[in-house]
Structure 1
Amino acid sequence: MADILLIQPPVRDFYLTRKRTIPYGLSSIAAVLIQNGFSVELFDSLATHKSRILDYPDEMNHLRLFYGKPDQSPFALFHHFRHFGYSYEHIGKAAGQSNAFLVGISSLFSAYQDEALKTAEIVKKWHPDCKIVIGGHHATSMPEEVMKNPAVDFLIRGEGEVSMPLLAKAVHDHLSIKDIPGIVYREENSSLVITPPAVMSSLDHYPLPATHLIKKKYYQRNKSGSIAVVASRGCPMKCSYCSMGESGLPYRRRSVESVVKEIELATVSEPVRFIDFEDENLSLDKKWFL
């Protein structure tokens, strides 16, 4: 039983790179919620080795010629389209049992937006009394598209560490949400209110991620420990292929001391061999980086 349930959805793809899917962002948001007095559960749909083969989605029918072949050479493409992680029904049942009043779902990548929305739908089916909020890069960039789904009650643009504690308090205490930074919601006439992305003013003022909520054994590489770290946020570049240019998030970096402290704490309880820096542009400030 927890006040707030944070969910990393499953992935449907030809492959899964586990060390790139550590739910670091959700653990960071969880830390701020805990700091504000809420109990939090992190349900990681990818914290399992389960996967199953799926038929190709209609939009991928043209790939049948290239995939599913018996070629086992180093040049072979991945053989099957798969559902990685727990089933949607399993996720829905877990949400219903949690009895959380607020459920947050990550929608980081446009390629996996369907999984995030399907997760929202199944959560609402099993736990209709909860409020559902979606956040992440895709949600920030395409709020209108995400909010077309009636299962989604709110959307957070930008950095959830700023908005989630305020939203949680507003939902819990039945307060107005209109002044929450980054919030997207429906008016009574169903029109959307979309606010600018929320921005963390100083990264060092926020608590370190609640990584104790992450089931680390599912993210080992060759039986060695693997952790994710974000040392800076934002990027000033305007690359056409990247959503960061449209997110409105400025470039900011943590102090070296803060980053080192996080790594040291992560390596106290277990050996860590791999550190995955998930910054948008880690080496932008070379003097700080080196």
Structure 2
Amino acid sequence: MPLAQLITPQQLAEQLDSPKLVILDCRFALEDLDYGQRSYAEGHIAGAHFADLERDLSGKVVKGVTGRHPLPEPQRLVDRLREWGVDNDSQVVLYDDGPGAFAARAWWLLAWLGKRDGVSILDGGLKAWHAAHLPLSLDPAPKREGTFSGEPDMHLSIDAEQLAKTLKKPELTLIDARGLPRFRGEVEPIDPVAGHIPGAQCAAFTDNIGADGRFLPADQLKKRFDEKLAGRAPEQLVAYCGSGVTACHNLFALALAGYPLGKLYAGSWSEWINDPQHGVATGD
């Protein structure tokens, strides 16, 4: 079974009564931290549990040390997944408003903990669900204790020290999921330093999505990332962004295109710039 899977609104609607189905609502907004919880309370796909980016899908921020969304403590996340009813053989569906950045973060975390099959992202997110004229629910998610067990795969992530030692290696492909103006250092609306990690290429995660808000076909995604890899081994690819969230969208898109899973620099730009000895580049 492919590592990255998409599910359409119609397909999900037909599976809502499946006892193996667990749905996670991953809606979030950086500019309104209560947006996700509030939106969930106003209506969600029937049976969905709410997974908050900062409370559930991230760890504790240490100012001046970590990035804005460090990885969660593994056992705490395993416990949370069990609270949501996740078993090792569950069919997990993840969604946000679209284009899937927060859902992709949850997808990557599940892969990191060893759940590599039975996990799908709702293609187009809740916007596509609405466009299909499918209903929302106000009912609370069913309570059932799951039995999921997982251990983090440390081969899927890289820290700042490891990345700094790798930057000059010719086999490295380093991609930045932020938009081109932030990559170039022309604007920086969030972090105190503008620019990008030296040697990185801009690979804006929004370019994984078509005009309809859904992921591009696999052949188009493959062409996109072939150009970034330029013949280098995809296993040596490292993805980052501002805080380790939208980078997961690129890793999901790479997997959709048939590539093996690259590494996530979870600390990303917001962690990298905490160390004044780390290089900073601007422009292309």
TM bucket by the smaller chain? under 0.3
TM-score (norm 1): 0.27
Structure showing greater Rg: 1
Which structure shows the bigger proportion of residues in strand conformation? 1
